[in-house]
Copies of this chain bind each other. A is one copy, B any other.
Amino acid sequence: MDQRHELSATTSAAVTLTKPLHCIVKLGGAAITCKNELETINEENLNIVSSQLREAMIVGPCHGMDWSRRPGSSEIPTVVDDFDDQLESDSKKFIVVHGAGSFGHFQASKSGVHKGGLSKPLVKSGFVATRISVTSLNLEIVRALAKEGIPSIGLSPFSCGWSTCERNIAVADTLTVVKAIDAGFVPVLHGDAVLDSSQGCTILSGDVIIRHLAEELRPDYVVFLTDVFGVYDRPPTEPGATLLREIAVREDGSWSVLKPELEDMSRPVEITVAAHDTTGGMVTKISEAAMIAKLGIDVYIVKAATDHSARALQGLLKENIPDDWLGTVIRLAK
């Protein structure tokens, strides 16, 4: 962990935003795709998430920014003509990062891209196939956000020149991200297949990207949108699973549950990892979230497309967490 910290600190140029970054949002793969159907978007959730994001970001009028035809549709999109050049909306600075869900995982696990070995034809093909799948999803998410009026700009980590060494971030210059934000756009990054200087290639997960961006750009808070209400003490499908409302992270990286008070504090909290998840699932998520919280940045893990996610995105949980808010907040221990 410390080594990873050091690597990212030494390889990134100091880049500062003109206006501070308000929030980094993770759109979890499980929340925006149908996890058990190959390359299928959860349209309903994605539309609600896009609308909640727009409400959290933009005060004032906005216009649809997706003026493209749908593949296979002959319908030409309507472009409104009532742009008022005098009236600029006030907007908060956001970055969106999304996972892969039912995109990318099949291609990555079939070929073993995360294990490296680009000289093998199967791995090289899988690298190409994985990038096609995750960039397809990225384009769909950029379109959904743009349709809602969010000035979204797709940024692939591979294209941004990001790479790893021993599967940890080695080069991840945030200059392009910062320039896009300063120009008034909302960068949309994603978990991606990238080059790795030790093993040839690997998968860089959305969660690791978020931790890196949080370290470099220090947002006010970070929101992880997922398909369950938050972090549980055991798989949420099991009877008696308890939602962990508040987790405190100490300077040494260890963490403990503040709320609710668990009956048996000595019992380790169980975590679930989906079999086809090549990037670590909940283990990675909590570990990356804890590293963000250690920086003094509050992290909210919350169910997407609910009233709870809307409140988290709008930053309504900064001081006290209301009793009727369902989700997990991870904070630096006081």
Contact = CB atoms under 8 A, between A and B. Distances in A.
Interface of A: 38-39, 63-72, 76, 79, 83-85, 87-89, 103, 106-107, 110, 118-122, 124-129, 131-133, 135-136, 139, 142-143, 146, 151-156, 158-161, 163, 173, 175-176, 179-180, 183-185, 195, 200-201
Contacts of A136: 68, 71, 139
A69 B131 CA distance: 13
Copies of this protein in the complex:
2
A214 to B, nearest CB: 20
Residue of A72, A110, A121, A131 ringed by the most chain B CB atoms within 10 A = A121
B132 A143 contact: yes
A69 B39 contact: yes
Contact of A68 (B124, B129, B175, B201): B129
Nearest to A197: B179
Residue of A72, A129, A143 ringed by the most chain B CB atoms within 10 A = A129
B67 A107 contact: yes
Residue of A63, A65, A87, A195 ringed by the most chain B CB atoms within 10 A = A65
Contacts of A118: 183-184
Residue of A120, A125, A126, A142 ringed by the most chain B CB atoms within 10 A = A125
5 nearest A-B pairs in the assembled complex, by CB-CB distance: A159-B159, A67-B129, A83-B122, A65-B128, A161-B176
Nearest to A87: B121
Nearest to A85: B120
Contacts of A110: 67, 79
A103 B175 CA distance: 28
A85 to B, nearest CB: 5
27 contacts: A39-B68, A63-B121, A63-B125, A65-B132, A67-B106, A68-B136, A70-B71, A71-B71, A71-B136, A72-B72, A79-B110, A79-B129, A89-B121, A118-B183, A119-B184, A128-B152, A131-B153, A132-B142, A135-B154, A154-B159, A156-B159, A158-B180, A159-B160, A159-B176, A161-B175, A183-B195, A183-B200
